[in-house]
A and B are shown apart, each in its own frame.
Chain A
Amino acid sequence: MTLELEKVSRAVAGVTHIHDVSLRLERGSLNVLLGATLAGKTSLMRLMAGLDAPTSGRVLVDGKDVTGFTVKKRSVAMVYQQFINYPALTVYENIASPLRVAGLPRSEIEARVAEAARLLKLTPYLQRRPLEMSGGQQQRCAIARALVKRADLVLLDEPLANLDYKLREELREELPRIFASTGAVFVYATTEPMEALLLGGSTATLREGRLTQFGPTAEVYRRPGDLATARVFSDPPLNTLQATKSGGTVRLQAGGSIPVAGAFASVPDGSYTIGVRAHHLQVEAGEGHEAAPSINGVFRLRASVTVAEITGSETYLHMEAGETPLIALLPGIRGLEPGTAVDVLVDPGQILLFDSAGARAGRALDAAA
């Protein structure tokens, strides 16, 4: 089926949770809802499922208006972030429950449960109760129950957020594969940009209840349509700098100016916001000499280290250039003490450029990804 949301809004007690979202999800597609906590991912999923009714707008399934239909009349499966199973039933009965309610013959139920249990590696635990298993197994049980139903719409609301790292990796790889064969519309909500990129498919970025962009995941990451999308789809957080283009030069508010280059070449004079991903910042030791001027068409900013977070083989370097916080992701271990002066290099060929309203400006640069 195809699921279509038409200008859907939802307000609860005067507070708008979802604001005018239009979205079309195709049959057999994998869709990621990406947004920070409270961005409206769960609210949107509940509207898709029919657990909540939209305040305005329509929900269409295969072109048919199902806005007022309750969840029981739709073909939906949902997995929550918390491990939701029926504690009083065994794992087998948990997985079988949607089939029993549907009144399927016994042999069919057995076959389908066995198949789902095999895919999710639950076969040895079928006679246990959910609370007697580990968190990962409990969540797999919930996923198996969603799978066995063969619903047209499968909603996964941060299903891996409460699992440990290793299990998350495993299930993240398996999930799209398991559900791909069912031809269902698959919706996966996550707060992590990295997870969206690993899953692929299409991504819808949400911010404060609004849909900021929807398209193929890599496309949205590489060419975010506006500053909000770029911020949502960036981990560590996107570095932003204010810049003014006038005549043949671009001047950074934080200091330094260079001749027009990169994305600036195709935009009119004015004020812009530069977005730079952490791994595109370069850092050079700035100790022992005056701040060097911007040369060779590369901005050079004097900054001071606030924290260096070392994660095994990489370093997240938090800095401040005047008032502007910056984060750089550097390869290798760089144990810089807080307060160390450094030079930050920003290559105009590797930036995302946004106009004063926050919309993408200038020619798209693949290098900016």
Chain B
Amino acid sequence: MNSSSRGGTFVMVLYLVFLMLPIYWLVNMSLKTNFEINTTVSLWPRDITFEHYIKIFTDSSWYSGYINSLTYVVLNTIISISLALPAAYAFSRYTFVGDKHLFFWLLSNRMAPPAVFALPFFNLYSAIGLFDTPWAVALAHCLFNVPLAVWILEGFMSGVPREIDETAAIDGYSFPRFFVKIFMPLIASGIGVAAFFCFMFSWVELLLARTLTATNAKPIAVTMTRTVSAAGMDWGLLAAAGVLTIIPGALVIWFVRNYIAKGFALGRV
């Protein structure tokens, strides 16, 4: 190994350590007792304990947070993708009055801070009885996720030659059959990437999720704020909850890692 590549390796290792340190510290903390966290600085747990994880998996006020979060995230992803598919097809294949403006307007929705929408959503959902349900959060997140999914899918769809649509029409395919059987497999990676981004955004979004829920549909991120009590912070429990929050995102990233590179290549991610 020559000196320049050794230097490169060194920089790379330093960078990885820098990136991984907070995550390691989180895992480290989640396996320590609160006594150890509060009294010493240890690079690894002296006295490994799984009590925090056991509490999360047995206490329904904790694990229901995960279930609530996953429910609205999955709902949102399904709604966003099924709305975005036909919309993206229209933007990609047809020209209509104001299509470019509409496309840009969709994107500009993402520029508005979520806080702007928190109040109207709260009032609207309270009025129609959606408040404190997973649907409230799932629908609210569509405001940001549908435009994003349309934008990503439009890029992938425009990469499919229009002649394929025409050939299918000549072959006699009805539009729904063509769309499901011929077209969707061609943009499968785009659907994967769009679904991933919807999932991640909805999973990490806190403000709307918090405003639009009270008890029944409380997401995990909100539950985590409960650890402050008269007895002080339950650091270990909080860390364990944090570790479990990272896992779904990490899993999804693992599944779409190859498609994301393609999405970046298209300039749409």
Contacts of A89 in B (CB 8 A): 182
Contacts of A70 in B (CB 8 A): 169
Q: Is A16 an interface residue when CB atoms closer than 8 A count as contact? A: no
Contact of B170 among A76, A87, A88 (CB under 8 A): A76
Contact of B163 among A82, A87, A102 (CB under 8 A): A82
Contacts of A84 in B (CB 8 A): 161, 163-164, 167
Would you give the 0/1 interface string for B142-178, flagging 1 where the beta carbon is closer than 8 Å to chain A?
Answer: 0000000000000000000101101111111100010
Which residues 72-102 of A sit at the B interface, judged by CB distance below 8 A? 72, 76-78, 80, 82, 84, 86-89, 97-98, 101-102
Known: A82-B161, A84-B161, A88-B182. A49 touches B171 (CB 8 A): no
Q: Is A245 an interface residue when CB atoms closer than 8 A count as contact? A: no
Is A78 in contact with B172, judged by CB distance below 8 angstroms? Answer: no
Q: Is A71 an interface residue when CB atoms closer than 8 A count as contact? A: yes
Query: Given the complex of chains A and B, what is the CA–CA distance between A87 and B182 in angstroms?
Result: 8
Contacts of B173 in A (CB 8 A): 97, 101
Contacts of A145 in B (CB 8 A): 167, 171
Known: A101-B172, A101-B173. A78 touches B167 (CB 8 A): yes
Contacts of A102 in B (CB 8 A): 172
Query: Given the complex of chains A and B, what is the CA–CA distance between A10 and B169 in angstroms?
Result: 21
Contact of B166 among A78, A87, A88, A149 (CB under 8 A): A78
Q: Is B86 an interface residue when CB atoms closer than 8 A count as contact? A: no
Query: Given the complex of chains A and B, what is the CA–CA distance between A70 and B170 in angstroms?
Result: 9
Query: Given the complex of chains A and B, what is the CA–CA distance between A89 and B59 in angstroms?
Result: 49
Closest to B160 in A: A87
Closest to A102 in B: B172
Q: Secondary structure of the A side of the interface?
A: mixed
Query: Given the complex of chains A and B, what is the CA–CA distance between A210 and B217 in angstroms?
Result: 68
Q: Is B249 an interface residue when CB atoms closer than 8 A count as contact? A: no
Contact of A86 among B166, B170, B182 (CB under 8 A): B182
Is B166 in contact with A71, judged by CB distance below 8 angstroms? Answer: yes
Q: Is B78 an interface residue when CB atoms closer than 8 A count as contact? A: no
Q: Is B74 an interface residue when CB atoms closer than 8 A count as contact? A: no
Q: In whole Å, how far is B156's beta carbon from the nearest beta carbon of chain A?
A: 13
Contacts of B164 in A (CB 8 A): 84, 86
Closest to B175 in A: A72
Q: Is B186 an interface residue when CB atoms closer than 8 A count as contact? A: yes
Is A98 in contact with B163, judged by CB distance below 8 angstroms? Answer: no
Q: In whole Å, how far is B112's beta carbon from the nearest beta carbon of chain A?
A: 35
Q: Is A51 an interface residue when CB atoms closer than 8 A count as contact? A: yes
A contact residues, range: 20 to 34
**Tally of B interface residues using CB under 8 Å:** 15
Q: Secondary structure of the B side of the interface?
A: helix
Contacts of A78 in B (CB 8 A): 166-167, 170
Contacts of A88 in B (CB 8 A): 182, 185-186
Is B163 in contact with A80, judged by CB distance below 8 angstroms? Answer: yes
Contacts of A80 in B (CB 8 A): 163, 167
Q: In whole Å, how far is A130's beta carbon from the nearest beta carbon of chain B?
A: 11
Closest to B169 in A: A71
Closest to A87 in B: B186
Query: Given the complex of chains A and B, what is the CA–CA distance between A75 and B6 in angstroms?
Result: 68
Closest to A80 in B: B163
Q: In whole Å, how far is B172's beta carbon from the nearest beta carbon of chain A?
A: 4
Query: Given the complex of chains A and B, what is the CA–CA distance between A102 and B173 in angstroms?
Result: 9
Closest to A13 in B: B95
Query: Given the complex of chains A and B, what is the CA–CA distance between A261 and B168 in angstroms?
Result: 58
Query: Given the complex of chains A and B, what is the CA–CA distance between A97 and B168 in angstroms?
Result: 9
Is B186 in contact with A51, judged by CB distance below 8 angstroms? Answer: no
Contacts of A87 in B (CB 8 A): 185-186
Q: In whole Å, how far is A341's beta carbon from the nearest beta carbon of chain B?
A: 51
Q: In whole Å, how far is B60's beta carbon from the nearest beta carbon of chain A?
A: 44
Is B186 in contact with A149, judged by CB distance below 8 angstroms? Answer: no
Contacts of B177 in A (CB 8 A): 101
Is B171 in contact with A101, judged by CB distance below 8 angstroms? Answer: yes
Q: In whole Å, how far is A140's beta carbon from the nearest beta carbon of chain B?
A: 15
Query: Given the complex of chains A and B, what is the CA–CA distance between A101 and B170 in angstroms?
Result: 11
Is A149 in contact with B171, judged by CB distance below 8 angstroms? Answer: yes
Contacts of B167 in A (CB 8 A): 78, 80, 84, 86, 142, 145
Contacts of A101 in B (CB 8 A): 171-173, 177
Q: In whole Å, how far is A316's beta carbon from the nearest beta carbon of chain B?
A: 35
Q: In whole Å, how far is B16's beta carbon from the nearest beta carbon of chain A?
A: 37
Q: In whole Å, how far is B177's beta carbon from the nearest beta carbon of chain A?
A: 8
Interface centre among B167, B168, B170, B182 (most CB of A within 10 A): B170
Which residues 168-198 of B sit at the A interface, judged by CB distance below 8 A? 168-173, 177, 182, 185-186
Is B169 in contact with A51, judged by CB distance below 8 angstroms? Answer: yes
Interface centre among B161, B171, B172, B185 (most CB of A within 10 A): B171
Contacts of A72 in B (CB 8 A): 169-170, 172
Contacts of B182 in A (CB 8 A): 86, 88-89
Known: A51-B166, A82-B161. A97 touches B185 (CB 8 A): no
Closest to A84 in B: B163
Is A97 in contact with B163, judged by CB distance below 8 angstroms? Answer: no
Query: Given the complex of chains A and B, what is the CA–CA distance between A84 and B161 in angstroms?
Result: 8
Is A71 in contact with B163, judged by CB distance below 8 angstroms? Answer: no
B residues lining the A interface (CB < 8 Å):
161, 163-164, 166-173, 177, 182, 185-186
A residues lining the B interface (CB < 8 Å):
49, 51, 70-72, 76-78, 80, 82, 84, 86-89, 97-98, 101-102, 142, 145, 149
Could you list 12 further interchain pairs (A-B, Cβ under 8 angstroms) beyond the known A101-B172, A145-B167, A145-B171?
Answer: A49-B170, A71-B169, A72-B170, A76-B170, A78-B166, A78-B167, A84-B161, A84-B167, A86-B164, A87-B186, A89-B182, A102-B172
- Chosen A-B contacts, 24 in total, with CB atoms closer than 8 Å, are A49-B170, A51-B166, A51-B170, A71-B169, A71-B170, A72-B169, A72-B170, A78-B166, A78-B167, A80-B163, A82-B163, A84-B161, A84-B163, A84-B164, A84-B167, A86-B168, A86-B182, A87-B186, A88-B185, A89-B182, A98-B170, A98-B172, A101-B173, A102-B172
